[in-house]
Structure 1
């Protein structure tokens, strides 16, 4: 695993369960190395890491951004195994893992950030237990354990916070998070929506966010 060195690039602390697939992922004594998504207490064949391509799309405009793994997968299956679950493009961004055994995920991340000398970081994690109120601006957290990253509004919130993070804007100064209704939110109001339609909608939202980002950049350059 890479050693902890001070990093000047913006950093995203990345959880897996409840972010890249539904939150309830378990192994059984019969298959100790074969994690499965559980729904209502029963194992399913739902694909793990189904939203990796979406995360890759959302991070694409920010090549300078780095990732630190903040997931129980590192403890359960090892750093290299966890790393290889990501796409090659995301793997290239990973600089290590947060593994300090704190009582809360916030404790683990904050210790890791201090050790690395980080000041410009954001966490994408569904575990907000113990997260201080005054630090919630550094957390993007889905609340639906099944929808994870495709929960309405989450991708839009992440896109907004990533733009601020990578522009060096203090995250506690961001006031327009998920202000408008996303394509995904509109889709979820309709009956019989398929996963493919949701993913296409997320791609559309991400493209809109990138267009707006480029427009703001051009405006700022003119000013």
Structure 2
């Protein structure tokens, strides 16, 4: 069975505080310090695509309030085409905590290889924390220092079939990007800065695809 990533949106792919108003019920906006902004939603989709690229068998289950608020199809369309192709459904069971929603969905799907990328840690048992990657800075989200490196390690562990509770025994890379894509002149920090320039992220992906094609 394919490994699965349970994916939240708010606090992961953009800042955590996203709201709609009665005047614009279908137009969510990022709020900072309680005020609406024009900051782009889903600004870190390219980074997630980059991190998942080495694992073509990985599938995604949406675990986000966007499904409840806007419907599955609209939530799905917020992702890039390559990420959409990985999505196999959504976790929608109305449990008291996000962990409950995800764990019930995983049980119903018969999953034994999964992790969650979610900023909501409430109710997450300590003995299951090895299955969670959780940014703690609500504004930085996925680009919070150390989060991408942690996610990369857990993805490699998950997709290699190594027990997730042994993730602490996996050697930490000096550069997530160098380890994943054999691009020694590109650092993780540079990729994060490049999110302001989508063309650069696309160039990194293009180089990664070319290297994989050469190997094949």
TM interval, short-chain normalised: 0.7 to 0.9
Does the alignment pair 1:39 with 2:16?
Answer: no
Quote the residue 1:221 is aligned against. Answer: none
Query: For the residues of structure 1 that align with 2:5 and 2:191, how far apart are their CA atoms?
Result: 28
- Relative distance call for 1:120 and 1:146 in structure 2 (3 A) is same
Segments of structure 2 that go 5 or more residues without pairing to the other structure are 176-186
2:150 to 154, 157, 160: 157
Does the alignment pair 1:107 with 2:100?
Answer: yes
Quote the residue 1:68 is aligned against. Answer: 61
Query: For the residues of structure 1 that align with 2:91 and 2:191, how far apart are their CA atoms?
Result: 36
Post-superposition offset of 1:196: 3.4
Quote the residue 1:20 is aligned against. Answer: 13
Segments of structure 1 that go 5 or more residues without pairing to the other structure are 1-7, 215-223
Provide Cα deviations, 1:160-214, integer angstroms capped at 9, x if missing partner: 00001001000101115794666557999xxxx89638x979x98xx99xx9xx9
Query: For the residues of structure 2 that align with 1:53 and 1:187, how far apart are their CA atoms?
Result: 10
- Say if 1:20 and 1:49, in contact at 8 Å, map to a contact too: yes
Give the alignment's TM-score, normalised by structure 2.
Answer: 0.82
Query: For the residues of structure 1 that align with 2:120 and 2:194, how far apart are their CA atoms?
Result: 27
Quote the residue 2:162 is aligned against. Answer: 169
- Where 2:20 maps in the other structure, the secondary structure is strand
2:130 to 126, 137, 147: 137
Give the alignment's TM-score, normalised by structure 1.
Answer: 0.80
- Say if 1:10 and 1:66, in contact at 8 Å, map to a contact too: yes
Provide Cα deviations, 1:3-26, integer angstroms capped at 9, x if missing partner: xxxxx1000000000000000000
Post-superposition offset of 1:31: 0.6
- Relative distance call for 1:176 and 1:38 in structure 2 (3 A) is farther
Please give the residue correspondences for 1:43-54 in structure 2 after superposition, counting only pairs within 5 Å: 43-54=36-47
Query: For the residues of structure 2 that align with 1:194 and 1:162, how far apart are their CA atoms?
Result: 22
Query: For the residues of structure 1 that align with 2:144 and 2:170, how far apart are their CA atoms?
Result: 15
Post-superposition offset of 1:74: 0.2
The list of structure 1 runs, each at least 4 consecutive aligned residues, that deviate by more than 3 angstroms after superposition, is: 176-188, 193-197
| RMSD (Å) for aligned C-alpha atoms | 2.8
- Where 1:146 maps in the other structure, the secondary structure is coil
